[in-house]
Structure 1
Amino acid sequence: MGVFKIEGGHQLKGSIQPQGAKNEALQILCAVLLTPEKITINNIPDIVDVNKLIDLLRKLGVKIEKLQKGSYTFQADDVNLAYLESDQFKIDGRGLRGSIMIVGPLLARFGKGYIPKPGGDKIGRRRLDTHFEGLIKLGAKFGYSREEQFYGVEAKKLKGTYMLLEEASVTGTANILMAAVLAEGQTTIYNAACEPYLQQLCKMLNRMGAKISGVGSNMLIIDGVESLGGTEHTMLPDMIEIGSWIGLAAMTKSELTITNVSWKDLGIIPETFRKLGITVERKGDDIYIPAHTDGYEIQSFIDGSILTIADAPWPGFTPDLLSIILVVATQARGSVLVHQKMFESRLFFVDKLIDMGAKIILCDPHRATVIGHDFKSTLKATTMTSPDIRAGVSLLIAALSAKGTSTIQNIEQIDRGYENIDERLRAIGAKIERID
């Protein structure tokens, strides 16, 4: 297992371009199973989770050709359905959570879809009920082996229906949507997720011949079609990585430019960082962060009460950036309450920050109060372990701002979501070394 050795306390400078969006890639790649025709996808991030899904598709019989860095063609004209019931698939499918989204396309096109209980971050319960309840409403028969933790759905023909989702699950909406595009009749999905990445999936499916209306809203109406064709798709930049670089610039008092960020798809992310006192300037389609040599001050609510930053479904603030907000607040002027509503284990990494000297009160599994140092006391270097992708990057940002040399273990977690992060950070002046 690899580790990062980080010498903190250095200012960074330059520009950095965000990778293609991880969470979009996992949806878009599963959608290639919906057609036997060739699909070209651009701006695919070279990260562990995405590469695992590409490998899973290859084992399913999808023909995959790499055109250049980040660009591939996919053709699912000879899918190996026998692989779905093999012991190897039960191992491979557990490797990442995004594998759950192959079920909808397989069910729609071939009448059956299977998946072992998927893996992913250990950040609390992540139920699959929304996925399978939606597929059952479309007419699928559901089966589950508790002993093998293996799920399956089968249907001779899916039929459109109305459904109100229990939660606005992004992956759940994507799975149901991909099944509904080939169902007979009209399907209405109310309380659908409406994240930009879900919108991207809808736009791609419509170019393939699907009939989806209400894109960008929480009510999607899908008129089923007989078949879908090929297309070309380019993925958005990763908004989580963009938020990570904003936090990195502030914590290290660095002047950074984040290029080609697709401002129109960032929602309230820039404004949320501004509430922490961070200057986020728009320059064309770039973000410019000046060096915060005098620090940054957290705003209060208009009645003077302590600022609370909480996650919520889009267009609310993404839960994937709350870890970044929390670590950035440790050096702010003022205090903030961070409320992680969706996952009950995502804040447990704060004990590492406390070891580094941060002033954090973990109120309960969902809430933490951060009292900023205002850079009057620097964080101290330490040895730590990355528990999940987002917490791992937050600890990396803390280490880059800390005094001394830190070591981060289990960096495979970080590699799951960030492409060549050590090389890209070195290019802007970071002192970071990967040790195998």
Structure 2
Amino acid sequence: MSQLLRLATAGSVDDGKSTLVGRLLYDTKSVLADTLEAVHRASADRGMSTPDLSLLVDGLRSEREQGITIDVAYRYFATPKRSFVLADTPGHVQYTRNTVTGASTAQLGVLLVDARNGVVEQTRRHAAVLALLGVPRVVLAVNKIDLVDYDEPTFTRISKEFSAHATSLGYSEDAVLSIPVSALVGDNVVDRSARTPWYEGPTLLRHLEEVPVHADAEDSPFRFPVQYVIRPRTAEHPDYRGYAGQIAAGGVSVGDEVVVLPSGIRSTVTGIDTPHGPRSSAGSGESVTLLLANEVDISRGDLIATATAPPRVVDEFEATLCWLGDKPLRPGARVLVKHGTRTVQALVTELNSRFDEQKLSSVDAPDSLSLNDIGRVVLRSAEPLPIDDYTDSRRTGAFLVIDPADGSTLAGGLVGAPLPVLDATDATGEQEDLVSPGP
């Protein structure tokens, strides 16, 4: 079992995401004394008798003043069983782009719903985003269970509705767990609540500690986007030529045969340098400098990959976009595509479909994609790109679409990633149109 779990929280406005994260930090004693003291002071100034734990997460001044989460807030905490990297994402529709960012590296998503409101539009939208991004497991935290008097039928109804929705998106039954919680008073967050004797499952923290996680980047074929070419040209190292970067997926060892893309030139790894000295091997997430047997014309933006399972090199490909731009995307748009360390000009040649995350249906050949729309497009790049399908490698199957005019991010892209699917019927029992499979 992995010692690190990356998770992201999501949900609608005022469902209590920041309070839940604050409760996790508070009850696991992951808060510094001076920070906790500042929260107590701020809460007292607001006339509150108990600390407002959401202040532990809403770090921006504008967030504290408005009482909402705007940006993705990353928090780190640990228990004796596991370490955690948690991304608290916004609930407002206009900040869905930040939810995409926070969930893009998550191994588990925690979706919150208000027990008084149940599954709402934004819940379904966030579930679709998690499915699209390939987040393998989801927890539905039915929050504010205290405000419905810890009513079991209410929890059961919400749980069944969400499970049906998640299953329609492609999740298996064992990948989804619903937990009744109260972030404000701490029910079933870290400690089991005596007020929900009808609930026999784990607390949220226990589930986070024990849920199996899979780091696909470690098991994927070796991928190494080159960030910088090191040539010191000193008397001590007259012939040194190293290729620096971070291993995006897989592992590499001295003696491995590799291929440089998009050129296709092959070579052998003769050395792996790190800030702590030479190594015989290295794995996903490590920053290293590779040395190759022969002098190869390599520059920033090239990809070094295992020769036994290289990615395909294409100048036209189909992808799913989460459109984040304020202006709609239309066929014929000229954009920049940033894949790994390589940025190339590209043309959007086709809009094949748009996903309706509420009805779980596909709209064919839309005229445009608007803010927060998810759709399938065809891109033609000015230069060939070495790409993997997102379902095979989340790191090298993802890319950004950038506005060439001002450099702003317009979309997150997933190579070949299928839109979520509705297997048979939705939560209302009505038959829907089928789209491609989810995770």
- Tell me, yes or no, whether TM beats 0.5: no
TM-score (norm 2): 0.32
Name the structure, 1 or 2, with higher relative contact order (CA <8 Å, separation 6+): 1
Higher helix proportion: 1
TM-score (norm 1): 0.32
When Rg is computed on C-alpha atoms for both structures, the one with the higher figure is 2
